[in-house]
Chains A and B, each alone.
Chain A
């Protein structure tokens, strides 16, 4: 078992727990069971071990360790199975050997017993002869009596084949003896062996015995040995020795085995001496010789006898018995058995035949070779096979895991590569589109200039076509560029204050032409809860809305396109209320898809948004969550195409692209943009009814108290809106409200007169929807005349008309109308129209274009600004530009000077810094300035420097703007990293300058407050 332990410990030496003790108690019999248990544990542990390796060790080490363990496992079990084989085999052999020994001993004992019985009987016969032959006178026994007696008592001597009695005759007595017997003493055949002589000697042929001192002629013999009568035994060498020893010792003496001629078998002769009676038991050999009077010999046919004996035993065939006479140990004489010497096991049993001189042995061996030890072979092979299988399973598992890990790594590699390729593609696209844009701008500019030259109509047409195509191309490139930018994550949103309503008005004017062509009603409505000024990326919002409206216009042939903006909370609260039938109460009367379905999937409405709680609303941050919808009454999107609406370059069908053009990436870009603004986009579409796209964006509120329009000249006026369609009237009211006009809605034209004459409020104007007007044109002259008759102020009558609707046709009462206002309504346009109608003075109130400059002026006015540039020309130009906006400019031509000038306390409100300068570039200078400021700030904080000494400023941070000619992303990031607040392109560009300056002056003032 120790050996077993040794083997099993080899692969398991890494367990240092109790299981190894258990192993000590293992016996071979239950080895199998235990082995199975072990294998289970091992595999489990192996797993854990591997996992450990996997997660905590380096993979390489784990792998080699595993390989080594596996090898040890297999080798260990191999040795163990060999040992099992050896052990079981040796057990079997041992058992066999024991069995053979017991069988052999049994046979030897039986043989010995029977031999002894025969010997005893011979002795008895000898006593018989001495009693009845020698002691009686005359003898009571003659040859016939002896032969018969011997024959009859043969069963008592199973091992003897014959007996003979020889008498001792001295030479002096020879003649008398010969006369008495009637035959002469004969000599044994000298050339032959004594048994041969005994057996076939013909008494007539035999020589007469020569003269000797004494003779031992045979007088009695059993019938079958009758021929030996009268032969002198002393003349035979063997017999003589036997006789001499026998009479000397007084015991039975055996000859060496010799072949019996008659039966060709081996035999031995046992000789007993017959003494005169009265011999003492302790007689000396000489006395014994003296007293000897005859000799009794028995012939033992060993072979036959052993055969007989073996016959009596059952399994005599299973073993092979050899009997040897080993008196001379060097030359054992085979007495029985074939002379086969195998290498297989044999057993030796000693035989005692009562002759102390002679030694006999019995050799036994199995007749058949021992069968192959099948049990041992199968057990060991089975063990080995199971161990190998387990090893294989481990190996397979380990290699499988390794393979999976490899695959995983490969996948990661491929994924990385794919992502890199994707980014590279996007960058390539971005670069290429950018590069295309530049020359395209040249082309377009040239075309514009060409248009201005003197062209005939055909040429002009060509040029216009070329320009239109060029513009289309540029917008396409812009789209692709956007897509690429979004994909490569380079798109950054701006955060500038803007007026959403103005932006939406702009968008509407953009589509004015197209809507007019198709006769569509285009309207915008912004909830009055939406703040005036929002902070966000208006360009992108414009892009999204433009895209949605553009799509709507493409696919809408009649009806309307309605853009609405609400706060998230409004929509939330209206969700429950707004259950009325939607279909009729629409802008143009055409049914629309229920827009509520378009935001069904929005997360923002699903989760309990904190903003929906009114108590939180007031305290909630400045974040504004807008819900913007674009509703149309177009053809709708086929159901099967609805799933891929937001997939880039996927259009409803190939024919769509041919009919309507477009690349099909607009919506995908819109989705990305909405995502960037932390919003969601969704839609609902019913074929032949229309689609509604809704998206949400999160913007920041900017607190403002100035409202340009509300403080306009119309403030406080009241307008009566006459429209039988409340949804449409809502839009009109919205625009009037923006101008500070108080709108009152009247659905029924017949009620207008009562309204006007009620006198509770003075109505300054009446806005009549063209449709309502044409439905009942005759009532209007009546109203006017009635008012005239009553001497009342006749309010201005304004007609709201779609561009296509034929106002002129129903001109029956057109003379009462002051102005026709062409839809789509926009605040600025409405203002102009009203001003014209009401005859207000046209003060210069054009918002566009001038604003940045004016604002810049107000922002920069009397601000102390440091401009740093090594290039004196640039310095001069930049200074000139800033001075133009009213700033006080100081110039510095190197970074070092700038640092000196900006050492707190200083007077500067801002610094414009060139980046690329010799000696010290803008980044370095900025870093140094920031370090300086941090130092001072710390000193102020810790009280080392009284803050009065540094200009009553607690926190020094001068806004630094980089001036750079090449505005690329990397530069921008670098700027921010070095502590700059932004960058402007060089030479200055008005709007960008404005944007940056507002940003940091706003933050600067906040900080200083």
Chain B
């Protein structure tokens, strides 16, 4: 694939992500923060996000499986997850987290479990997409091109 089509694909892919609401403006802002002095900023942050989220999701699954659910703890985790997803612009994850927190407040275990499933789905989705994106970036960079900017 030549560089031009790669770049076009990259743009299409990114705009599709934004359009579908998987990512929001925050992600583009992140991209803007990346410059020569900080070339791997987005990758770095997103990797951090993945690590953090995976840890949190595991924690959440364990907490919610218990007989007596410690909703405070659940809420703290979800808050954390919400914060980091908002920071990287994973909008859908964030949205589900918001619903999740409401269920926590209501101490609705059913709802929480349901939300946890959704969060996991969304997380996997965004992870998948972001990985694809990074792969594209890598390819573009390997082909000697520059990453097209979205703003």
Residues on A lying within 8 angstroms of B by beta carbon are 449, 869-874, 876-878, 880-881, 883-884, 914, 916, 918, 965, 986-988
Closest 7 A/B residue pairs (Cβ)? A873-B84, A877-B87, A871-B83, A874-B87, A880-B33, A873-B49, A884-B33
Give bound CA distance, A883 to B32, whole Å.
12
Partner of A918, one of B29, B34, B35, B76: B76
Size category, B interface: 20 to 34
B87 touches A871 (CB 8 A): yes
A880 — which chain B residues lie within 8 A by C-beta? 30, 33-34, 38, 41, 45
Give bound CA distance, A965 to B38, whole Å.
26
Residues on B lying within 8 angstroms of A by beta carbon are 19, 26, 29-30, 32-35, 37-38, 41, 44-45, 48-49, 52, 76, 79-80, 82-84, 86-89
How many A-B contacts are there with CB distance less than 8 Å?
Answer: 64
Partner of A873, one of B33, B35, B41, B48: B48
A873 touches B87 (CB 8 A): yes
- Among A870, A877, A884, A988, chain B packs the most CB atoms within 10 A around the CB of A877
For this complex, 21 residue pairs linking A to B, each with C-beta atoms less than 8 Å apart, are: A869-B83, A871-B80, A871-B83, A871-B87, A872-B84, A876-B44, A876-B45, A876-B48, A876-B87, A877-B30, A877-B45, A880-B30, A880-B38, A880-B41, A883-B33, A883-B37, A883-B38, A918-B76, A965-B86, A987-B89, A988-B29
A873 touches B45 (CB 8 A): yes
B80 touches A870 (CB 8 A): yes
Q: How far is the CB of A869 from chain B (nearest CB, A)?
A: 8
Q: How far is the CB of B92 from chain A (nearest CB, A)?
A: 14
Partner of B48, one of A872, A965, A988: A872
B35 touches A884 (CB 8 A): yes
A876 — which chain B residues lie within 8 A by C-beta? 44-45, 48, 87
Could you list 18 further interchain pairs (A-B, Cβ under 8 angstroms) beyond the known A872-B84, A874-B83, A880-B45? A870-B80, A871-B87, A872-B48, A873-B87, A874-B84, A874-B87, A876-B44, A876-B45, A876-B87, A877-B87, A880-B34, A880-B41, A883-B33, A883-B38, A884-B38, A916-B83, A965-B82, A987-B26
- Among A870, A881, A987, A988, chain B packs the most CB atoms within 10 A around the CB of A987
A987 — which chain B residues lie within 8 A by C-beta? 26, 29, 86-87, 89
Q: How far is the CB of A638 from chain B (nearest CB, A)?
A: 49
Give bound CA distance, A840 to B52, whole Å.
56
Q: How far is the CB of A75 from chain B (nearest CB, A)?
A: 66
B33 touches A986 (CB 8 A): no
B32 — which chain A residues lie within 8 A by C-beta? 884
Q: How far is the CB of A984 from chain B (nearest CB, A)?
A: 13
B52 — which chain A residues lie within 8 A by C-beta? 871-873
Q: Which chain A residue shows the least CB distance to B53?
A: A873
Give bound CA distance, A816 to B80, whole Å.
69
Q: How far is the CB of A289 from chain B (nearest CB, A)?
A: 141
B19 touches A449 (CB 8 A): yes
A986 touches B86 (CB 8 A): yes
Contacts known (A883-B38, A884-B33, A987-B29); A873 close to B88, Cβ less than 8 A: yes
Q: Which chain B residue shows the least CB distance to A873?
A: B84
Q: Which chain A residue shows the least CB distance to B29?
A: A987
- Among A871, A881, A883, chain B packs the most CB atoms within 10 A around the CB of A871
B41 — which chain A residues lie within 8 A by C-beta? 880
Q: How far is the CB of B59 from chain A (nearest CB, A)?
A: 13
B82 touches A877 (CB 8 A): no
Give bound CA distance, A488 to B12, whole Å.
47
B49 — which chain A residues lie within 8 A by C-beta? 873
Q: How far is the CB of A923 from chain B (nearest CB, A)?
A: 16
